[in-house]
C-alpha cells in the first residue's frame, strides 16, 4: 500500500486544521450529551445533560478528520466536491461540519450513490467515506466494481475512503483484522491504487493525511489529463485511501475501568448513566480536552481564523448543489408518445410485445437528450430480455473493463448501465437522481425484492424531503417490472413473485405510485407521465411477451388520465345496473377477464356485465388515504353498492382487500390473483393453478348471481365450455 513521503503543508496550517477538527468533535459530543451549557461556562451538572442519550460517537471523529482535510484540498484546487458518508450513523459529525460551514445539510450514503452522482458530471469529485462495518454488506462489497463503468473523460471522480476503526456494534470488523498485505492485494485486485493513512497521534495523522491527499490529487489530475488527451482506451487505476484510526478516537481510553477508545464500547454513546456524578465529571473533562475556549467566542461564534479554513459558497461540501440535485434538475426532453401508438382498430385484434414499444420510446428519449447527458437506463443484465434493446441503436452499454473484438455494444461512453446486481443498479440510479438527472430501472419482477430495503430508504428520504422547504424536488425513481409472474412459466416457481407492489404500498401515499397498464398504448401514456413526475417512486408492471392490444391511443390516454374506468365496449349494462362487475388490474388478468366476459355473453347473454379496468392501483384507496384515490361516491358509481364484484388481480389477492376494506361494497368483493402456486408449465396453466383463468372467473359469477332465463340451471358452465 502506498505511503507518501513529501511534506507539502506547513506546521501552522496543520495546527489550525487540528483546531478545526477539535471544534467538530466538540460539537459532535455536545449533540449527543448536552441539553444546556454548550460552552461549559459553568461547571457541568446533571441538569445540563439530556435525559435520554442518543447518537453514535465511534465513527464520528474519523468523519470529522476526513472532512477538514477535504476542505483543504477543495480550497487549494478549487474543487467541486461532495461528501458521501457511508457510516450515516455518524450524523453528529455531518451536522457539526455543516454548522461550522454556516449551513445544515444532508448528503448521500454509499459507494454506489457516489458513482451514480459522478456519472455525466466530469468536474465533480465524490469523496465517499465507507465504514469498515458497512464494507461487510453485500451492496457495498459489489459496488467496488463500479470503477469498471466510470469514463474518465465524461464522468467525474469517486475517491473512496475506507475508514477502518476496527469495530462494529459489538464485534471486530473483517477488513480491520486482515494483514496490510492482504488488504493491499484486495483493493489492487478491485482495480484501485490504495494509500494507507494509519495512526492515532493527531499531529502525525494530520500531516500524513495532508500528504496523502496531495498525492491522490496528483493521481487524479494525471488520469484526467491523460484521458482527455488520449481517450479512454485503457481503464485507469483510480486512487483510494484506507484510513485506520481508533474507534471513538479522542474519547476517554477507559470508563469505569473498561476499555472505551479503540474498542466497540465507543460505537454509540460511550458513557451512559449520567446520574452518576463521576460520569458527569468525566464528560466535562472530555469536552474540555478539546479546549473550546480556543475555538468559540463567548457567544458561541466560531473563531474567524478557523472558519476561514472552510471553502466559500457552493464550494462548501454542505452547500454543494449536487447534494441537493433538484437545484440542478432540468426537464427531460420527451418525444410525443402518441407517435409510437399501436394501431388498434378493434380491441384484441392485434398482438404486440408491449415493453418493446416502450423500449422504442425510451430509445428516442435517449437520442434527443444525448447532448444534455442527463438520462440513463439501468438493468441487472435484463435490458434486452425486457425488450429495451432498441436503446442500443443510439448508445451502448457502459463498459471500461476489457473489451474483445466480438463484443456487442460495449463502449466507455455507453448510457445503458448493466451489472448483474440489483443493488448496484438501484444505488447508481439513486445517486444519478439525487444529483439532478433522470433514469429508468428495468428488472424481473421476482428479483426486484433484492432491493426492498434500498427502496425503503429512498421512499423514506422522499417523504422527509417533501417537508423540508430548501430540499428541491428530484426526478422520480421509475421501475419497470417485467418478465412477471404470469409469464415466467418457463423459468418456474423461483421466478414467480408479484409481491414487490405489496411492499411498495406500505410507504407514504404522497410518495408511491403503482401502475399496471393492460396494453402498449396505456404503457406509453404511463411511461410519459412517470418521466415527467417529481419526488415519486413509480412502479410499472407490464409483460414483455406478445399479447392482445385493447385500446387505441385516444382511449388509452383518456383511460390513463382517469386511472380507472368502465370499458363500455366490453360491457352490456348500458343505462342500467349490472348483475355483476368484472374488474381487472394487470395485463394477464385483463386478458382472462375479457375472455370470461366473452363466455358469459355467449352462454349467459341475459347476465348484465360491467367491466372495470384499473391502471392506477392507488385509485382503489379512498381519496382521504391517497391523493390518487377515488371518493366513495366515485368508487360506488363504478363498483355499485350491492352487486357482486369479481376482481382479477395481477398480484396477491389480499392486497386488493387491504386497499378497499373501507368501501361500501367490500363484502361483495371476490378477488382472484396469485396464490403461490406455480411451476415450470405453460402460461395458461399458470392462471389455472391460481384460479385466475377465464373458467374460474365465470364460475365465480355463476356462484354469486341469481341466474335467469333458459340457462338458469347453470349446467352449460360444465357442459358447454
Domain check: are 360 and 294 in the same one? no
Residue 493 within a domain:
yes
Averaged pLDDT, 407-430: 97
Q: Does residue 331 carry a pLDDT above 50?
A: yes
In DSSP terms, 197 is beta-bridged to 243
Report how far residue 681's alpha carbon sits from residue 694's, in angstroms, rounded to the nearest whole number.
Answer: 18
Q: Does residue 90 carry a pLDDT above 70?
A: yes
CB of 1 closer than 8 Å to CB of 184: yes
Residue 326 within a domain:
no
Q: Does residue 107 carry a pLDDT above 60?
A: no
* Of 425, 426, 422, 424, the residue nearest 446 (C-alpha): 422
CA distance readout (Å), 637 to 213, 278, 369, 516, 578: 67, 71, 43, 22, 11
Report how far residue 145's alpha carbon sits from residue 131's, in angstroms, rounded to the nearest whole number.
Answer: 17
Domain check: are 127 and 254 in the same one? yes
| Cβ neighbours, 10 Å, residue 572 | 18
In DSSP terms, 150 is beta-bridged to none
Report CA 434 to chain centroid distance, whole Å: 9
Averaged pLDDT, 330-353: 98
Contacts of 692 (CB under 8 A, 6+ apart): 588, 589, 592, 648, 672, 673, 674
Domain check: are 360 and 479 in the same one? yes
Read off the pTM.
0.93
| C-alpha dihedral, 200 to 203 to 209 to 212, nearest 10° | -120
Q: Does residue 89 carry a pLDDT above 70?
A: yes
Contacts of 409 (CB under 8 A, 6+ apart): 392, 396, 397, 416
Q: What is the pLDDT of residue 588?
A: 98
CB of 152 closer than 8 Å to CB of 239: no
| Cβ neighbours, 10 Å, residue 217 | 18
Read off the CATH number of the domain in which 356 is found. Answer: 3.40.50.970
* Of 505, 511, 509, 641, the residue nearest 585 (C-alpha): 505
Contacts of 671 (CB under 8 A, 6+ apart): 647, 649, 653, 654, 656, 657
DSSP state of 629: P
Phi and psi, residue 533, nearest 5°: -80, 165
| C-alpha dihedral, 239 to 240 to 243 to 244, nearest 10° | -100
Report how far residue 14's alpha carbon sits from residue 20's, in angstroms, rounded to the nearest whole number.
Answer: 10
Read off the CATH number of the domain in which 646 is found. Answer: 3.40.50.920
Residue 328 within a domain:
no
Q: Taking the CA of residue 555 as centre, how many other CA atoms within 13 Å lie in the half-sphere pointing to its CB?
A: 19
Cell numbers of 448, please?
A: 426486484
Contacts of 646 (CB under 8 A, 6+ apart): 580, 581, 582, 583, 670, 672, 697, 700, 701, 704
Residue 458 within a domain:
yes
| C-alpha dihedral, 1 to 82 to 33 to 278, nearest 10° | 20
Question: Of the ranges 103-112, 302-311, 439-448, 567-576, which one carries the lowest mean pLDDT score?
Answer: 103-112
Residue 361 within a domain:
yes
Averaged pLDDT, 270-293: 95
Q: What is the pLDDT of residue 358?
A: 99
Percent of residues, the chain, with pLDDT higher than 90: 88
Domain check: are 27 and 145 in the same one? yes
Cell numbers of 529, please?
A: 407521465
Predicted confidence (pLDDT) per residue in 2-58, tens digit? 655 555 688 999 999 999 999 999 999 999 999 999 999 999 999 999 999 999 998
Domain check: are 366 and 459 in the same one? yes
Residue 631 within a domain:
yes
Coil, strand, or helix at residue 307? helix
DSSP state of 475: B
For the chain, the average pLDDT equals: 94
Report CA 88 to chain centroid distance, whole Å: 16
- Strand order across the beta sheet in which 645-649 lies: 564-566, 609-614, 580-585, 645-649, 669-672
* Of 696, 686, 688, 687, the residue nearest 717 (C-alpha): 696
| SS3 per residue for 647-715 | EEECCCCHHHHHHHCCCCCHHHEEEECCCCCCCCCCHHHHHHHCCCCHHHHHHHHHHHCCCCHHHCCCC
CB of 383 closer than 8 Å to CB of 391: yes
Residue 91 within a domain:
yes
Long-range contact set of residues 403-411: C-beta below 8 Å, sequence gap at least 24: none
CB of 378 closer than 8 Å to CB of 425: yes
Pick the last residue of a domain from 505, 522, 548. 548
Averaged pLDDT, 369-382: 98
Contacts of 349 (CB under 8 A, 6+ apart): 548, 549
| SS3 per residue for 63-102 | HHHHHHHHHHHHHHHCCEEEEEECCHHHHHHHHHHHHHCC
* Of 514, 525, 547, 487, the residue nearest 354 (C-alpha): 547
**What is the domain extent for residue 514?**
345-548
CB burial of 301-313 (b: ≥16 within 10 Å; e: otherwise) equals ebbeebeebbbee
Averaged pLDDT, 210-227: 96
Pick the last residue of a domain from 548, 580, 605. 548
Domain check: are 503 and 648 in the same one? no
Domain check: are 504 and 586 in the same one? no
Q: What is the pLDDT of residue 284?
A: 96
Domain check: are 357 and 475 in the same one? yes
Predicted confidence (pLDDT) per residue in 231-268, tens digit? 667 899 999 999 999 999 999 999 999 999 989 998 99
Percent of residues, the chain, with pLDDT higher than 70: 95
Domain check: are 393 and 470 in the same one? yes
Domain check: are 271 and 420 in the same one? no
With 0-12 / 13-18 / 19 or more C-beta atoms within 10 angstroms meaning exposed / middle / buried, residue 223 is middle
Domain check: are 567 and 530 in the same one? no
Predicted confidence (pLDDT) per residue in 615-628, tens digit? 999 999 999 999 99
Averaged pLDDT, 546-566: 98
Cell numbers of 415, please?
A: 448510457
Q: What is the pLDDT of residue 470?
A: 93
Report how far residue 557's alpha carbon sits from residue 517's, in angstroms, rounded to the nearest whole number.
Answer: 11
* Of 503, 499, 586, the residue nearest 541 (C-alpha): 586
CA distance readout (Å), 619 to 113, 380, 674: 33, 31, 21
Q: Does residue 569 carry a pLDDT above 70?
A: yes
Q: Does residue 103 carry a pLDDT above 80?
A: no
Residue 339 within a domain:
no
| Cβ neighbours, 10 Å, residue 324 | 23
| Cβ neighbours, 10 Å, residue 591 | 23
Averaged pLDDT, 372-378: 98
Q: Does residue 104 carry a pLDDT above 60?
A: no
Domain check: are 300 and 413 in the same one? no
DSSP state of 134: G
Averaged pLDDT, 342-356: 98
Report how far residue 207's alpha carbon sits from residue 12's, in angstroms, rounded to the nearest whole number.
Answer: 11
**Domain count of the chain?**
3
Q: What is the pLDDT of residue 720?
A: 45
Report how far residue 430's alpha carbon sits from residue 119's, in angstroms, rounded to the nearest whole number.
Answer: 12
Q: Taking the CA of residue 219 as centre, how many other CA atoms within 13 Å lie in the half-sphere pointing to its CB?
A: 21
Question: Of the ranges 48-57, 334-343, 554-563, which one carries the lowest mean pLDDT score?
Answer: 48-57
Predicted confidence (pLDDT) per residue in 143-185, tens digit? 999 999 999 999 999 999 999 999 999 999 999 999 999 999 9
Q: Does residue 432 carry a pLDDT above 70?
A: yes
Report how far residue 685's alpha carbon sits from residue 175's, in angstroms, rounded to the nearest whole number.
Answer: 50
Q: Pairing relation of β-strands 351-353 and 546-548?
A: antiparallel
Q: What is the pLDDT of residue 29?
A: 94
Pick the last residue of a domain from 519, 548, 577. 548
Averaged pLDDT, 675-680: 90
Angle subtended at Cα 673 by Cα 667 and Cα 678, rounded to the nearest 5 degrees? 145
CA distance readout (Å), 216 to 64, 73, 501: 19, 10, 45
Amino acid at each position: 500500500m502506498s505511503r507518501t513521503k513529501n511534506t507539502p503543508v506547513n506546521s501552522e496550517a496543520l495546527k489550525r486544521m487540528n483546531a478545526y477538527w477539535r471544534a467538530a468533535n466538540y460539537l459532535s459530543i455536545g449533540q449527543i450529551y448536552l441539553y444546556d451549557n454548550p460552552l461549559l461556562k459553568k461547571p457541568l451538572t446533571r441538569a445540563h445533560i439530556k435525559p435520554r442519550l442518543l447518537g453514535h460517537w465511534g465513527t464520528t471523529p474519523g468523519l470529522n478528520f476526513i472532512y477538514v482535510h477535504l476542505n483543504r484540498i477543495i480550497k487549494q484546487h478549487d474543487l467541486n466536491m461532495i461528501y458521501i458518508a457511508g457510516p450515516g450513523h455518524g450524523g453528529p459529525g455531518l451536522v457539526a461540519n455543516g454548522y461550522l460551514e454556516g449551513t445544515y445539510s444532508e448528503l448521500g450514503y454509499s459507494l454506489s450513490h457516489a458513482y451514480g452522482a459522478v456519472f455525466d458530471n466530469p468536474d465533480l469529485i465524490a469523496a465517499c467515506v465507507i465504514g469498515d462495518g458497512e464494507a461487510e454488506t453485500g451492496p457495498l462489497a459489489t459496488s467496488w466494481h463500479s470503477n469498471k463503468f466510470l469514463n474518465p473523460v465524461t464522468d467525474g471522480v469517486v475517491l473512496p475512503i475506507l475508514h477502518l476503526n476496527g469495530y462494529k456494534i459489538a464485534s471486530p470488523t473483517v477488513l480491520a483484522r486482515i494483514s496490510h498485505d492482504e488488504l493491499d492485494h484486495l483493493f489492487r485486485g478491485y482495480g484501485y491504487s490504495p494509500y494507507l493513512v494509519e495512526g492515532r497521534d493527531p499531529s502525525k495523522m494530520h500531516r500524513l493525511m495532508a500528504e496523502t491527499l496531495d498525492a491522490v490529487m496528483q493521481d487524479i489530475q494525471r488520469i484526467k489529463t491523460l484521458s482527455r488527451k488520449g481517450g479512454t482506451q485503457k481503464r485507469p487505476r483510480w486512487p483510494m485511501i484506507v484510513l485506520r484510526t481508533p474507534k471513538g478516537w479522542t474519547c476517554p481510553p477507559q470508563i469505569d475501568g473498561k476499555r472505551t477508545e479503540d474498542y466497540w464500547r465507543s460505537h454509540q454513546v460511550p458513557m451512559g448513566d449520567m446520574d452518576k456524578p463521576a460520569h458527569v465529571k468525566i464528560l466535562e473533562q472530555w469536552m474540555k480536552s478539546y479546549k473550546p475556549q480556543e475555538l468559540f467566542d463567548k457567544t458561541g461564534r466560531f473563531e474567524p481564523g478557523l472558519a476561514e479554513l472552510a471553502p466559500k459558497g457552493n464550494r462548501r461540501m454542505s452547500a454543494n448543489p449536487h447534494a441537493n440535485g433538484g437545484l440542478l434538475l432540468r426537464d427531460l426532453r420527451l418525444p410525443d408518445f402518441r407517435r409510437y401508438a399501436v394501431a388498434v382498430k378493434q380491441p384484441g385484434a392485434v398482438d404486440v410485445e408491449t415493453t418493446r414499444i416502450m423500449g422504442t420510446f425510451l430509445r428516442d428519449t435517449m437520442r434527443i437528450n444525448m447532448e444534455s447527458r442527463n438520462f440513463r437506463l439501468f438493468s441487472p443484465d435484463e435490458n434486452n430480455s425486457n425488450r429495451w434493446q432498441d436503446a442500443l441503436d443510439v448508445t451502448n452499454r457502459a463498459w471500461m473493463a476489457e473489451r474483445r473484438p466480438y463484443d456487442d455494444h460495449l463502449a466507455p461512453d455507453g448510457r445503458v448501465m448493466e451489472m448483474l446486481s440489483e443493488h448496484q443498479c438501484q444505488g447508481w440510479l439513486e445517486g444519478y437522481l439525487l444529483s439532478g438527472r433522470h433514469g429508468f430501472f428495468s428488472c424481473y419482477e421476482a428479483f426486484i425484492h433484492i432491493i426492498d430495503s434500498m427502496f425503503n430508504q429512498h421512499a423514506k428520504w422522499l417523504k422527509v424531503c417533501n417537508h423540508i422547504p430548501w430540499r428541491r424536488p428530484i426526478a422520480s425513481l421509475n421501475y419497470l417490472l417485467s418478465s412477471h409472474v404470469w409469464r415466467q412459466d418457463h423459468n418456474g416457481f423461483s421466478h414467480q413473485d408479484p409481491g414487490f407492489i405489496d411492499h411498495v404500498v406500505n410507504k407514504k401515499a404522497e410518495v408511491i405510485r403503482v401502475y399496471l397498464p393492460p396494453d402498449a398504448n396505456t404503457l406509453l401514456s404511463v411511461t410519459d407521465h412517470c418521466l415527467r413526475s417529481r419526488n415519486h417512486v413509480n412502479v410499472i408492471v407490464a409483460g414483455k411477451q406478445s399479447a392482445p392490444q385493447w385500446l387505441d391511443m385516444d382511449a388509452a390516454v383518456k383511460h390513463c388520465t382517469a386511472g380507472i374506468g368502465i370499458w363500455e365496449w366490453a360491457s352490456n349494462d348500458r343505462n342500467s345496473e349490472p348483475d355483476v362487475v368484472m374488474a381487472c388490474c394487470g395485463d394477464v388478468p385483463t386478458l382472462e377477464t375479457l375472455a370470461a366476459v366473452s363466455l358469459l355473453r355467449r352462454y349467459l347473454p341475459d347476465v348484465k356485465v360491467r367491466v372495470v379496468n384499473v391502471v392506477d392501483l392507488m385509485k382503489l384507496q379512498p381519496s382521504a388515504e391517497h391523493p390518487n384515490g377515488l371518493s366513495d361516491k366515485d368508487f360506488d358509481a363504478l363498483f355499485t353498492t350491492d352487486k357482486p364484484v369479481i376482481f382479477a388481480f395481477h398480484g396477491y389477492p389480499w392486497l386488493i382487500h387491504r386497499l378497499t376494506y373501507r368501501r361500501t361494497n367490500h363484502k361483495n368483493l371476490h378477488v382472484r390473483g396469485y396464490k403461490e402456486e406455480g411451476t415450470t408449465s405453460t402460461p395458461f396453466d399458470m392462471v389455472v393453478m391460481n384460479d385466475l383463468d377465464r373458467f374460474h372467473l365465470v364460475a365465480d359469477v355463476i356462484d354469486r348471481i341469481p341466474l335467469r332465463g333458459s340457462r338458469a340451471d347453470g349446467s352449460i358452465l360444465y357442459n358447454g365450455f
